[in-house]
Structure 1
Amino acid sequence: MSRLRLPRRLLLGAALAPVAAQAAGTVGGGPAPEVSAFAEHRLALQLSESEPHRQDLVLSVANNVLKAYGPDKVAIEVVAFGPGIDLLRAESPRRSEVDSLVSQGVRFDLCLNTVETIARETGQRPALNPHAIPVEAGVVQLMTLAEAGYILVRP
């Protein structure tokens, strides 16, 4: 084997490793986004505040984007962390709106770091919407989505 080929192979392997890890769902500590083969647009919505008007904005943006492009042409992922996980609590007054968006293909990611912090502080894990998809860290999930071509919006 020539000296020139070995470094190229190593470089190619190193360059493809993050892509393979992301495809396997290991980057970001959460599942890799499942995007429709027909999705032409990718949107990540950050929710890190618990205020009702902020939750309404996130839900409204998701609904408006779905109306504009149609559920088959857009992939939407809401990433909730910190106080933003209040939207994904089982008793959330917006639960039916979240469930309706889930039925249209919107994903709701839930930061496990936040859940564990709440459990440590209160002595129990909060009851959560069963549609919420756990990810290790919300910010890392946002970074992973951005690297996968999602546009990040913080309404």
Structure 2
Amino acid sequence: MSRNFLVGSMAVLLGLMLLAGAGTLHAEPMSESKPFAEKFLLLQLSDGEEEKQDKVLSVAANLLEYYGPDAIDIEITTFGPGVRLMYLDNTRREKISSLMAQGVRFTVCMNTINTIERDTGTRPDLHPESIPVDVGVAHILDEVEAGYVLVRP
């Protein structure tokens, strides 16, 4: 065998090994509540406008209908003015509870809630099934790093 053939073959073999290993670098996230999920979506809500709240909830509902509730794992992360979606007295509470019943998780930035309490002297009451996270943007970064796709409708 010629030396060039051997070097070329080793390069091809090394390339194939790298390609095979590359597939394991970005494994899909695992969801305890949705073990059969094939899609992993993180919806960001950082606006307090009612139109934006409606849009985020609509996107989640549409995707659940399209893929089926077991095939998609959806989380809605709220921070800044977006935390208003999770206020206990929000008029969308029924829609939020319906999405939660289908496995959608709603996380709330506690950094924002603490700032609101500091500025107003009152801590807002939140939906009892909302999930607190220390820092909403940091949580988003972690979830994206874990394999979730970030969408900001």
* TM-score, reference length from structure 2: 0.79
1:88 corresponds in structure 2 to 86
* Secondary structure of the corresponding residue to residue 85 of structure 2: helix
Aligned partners of 2:32, 2:105: CA distance in 1, in Å? 9
Query: Which contiguous aligned blocks of 4+ residues in structure 1 show a shift greater than 3 angstroms?
Result: 32-35
Counterparts in 2 of 1:78 and 1:98: CA distance versus 1, 3 Å: same
CA pair 93-64 structure 1, distance change in 2 beyond 3 A? same
DSSP-derived class of the 1:152 partner = strand
User: Cα RMSD between the aligned structures?
Assistant: 1.5
Deviation for aligned residue 1:33: 5.9
1:131 to partner: Cα distance: 1.1
Give 1:107 shift.
0.1
Structure 1 unaligned blocks of 5 or more: 1-22, 24-31
Amino acid corresponding to residue 90 of structure 1 in structure 2: L
Q: Distance between the aligned counterparts of 2:31 and 2:46, measured in 1?
A: 20
In structure 2, runs of 5+ residues without a counterpart are 1-28
The percent of aligned pairs where both chains have the same amino acid is: 51
The whole-number CA distance in structure 1 between the counterparts of 2:142 and 2:67 is 23
| Residue aligning to 2:22 | none
Distance 1:144 1:131 in 2: 21
Q: How many equivalent pairs are there?
A: 125
Match of 2:67 in 1: 69
Aligned to 2:15: none
CA contact (8 A) 2:33 2:103 kept: no
Aligned to 1:47: 45
Mapped to 1, the partners of 2:115 and 2:65 lie a distance apart of: 36
Alignment of 1:2-151 (within 5 A): 34-151=32-149
- Any conservation in 2 of the 1:33–1:145 contact (CA below 8 Å)? no
Matching residue's letter, 1:106: V
Give the distance between the partners of 1:108 and 1:154, measured in 2 at CA. 14
3-state SS of paired residue (2:65): helix
Instruction: Give the secondary structure class of the aligned counterpart of 1:76.
Output: strand
Could you tell me how far apart the structure 1 residues matched to 2:149 and 2:109 are? Answer: 19
Shift of 1:35: 4.9
The alpha carbon displacement at 1:34 in A equals 4.0
Computing the radius of gyration over CA atoms, which structure comes out larger, 1 or 2? 2
Using structure 1 for the length normalisation, give the TM-score. Answer: 0.78
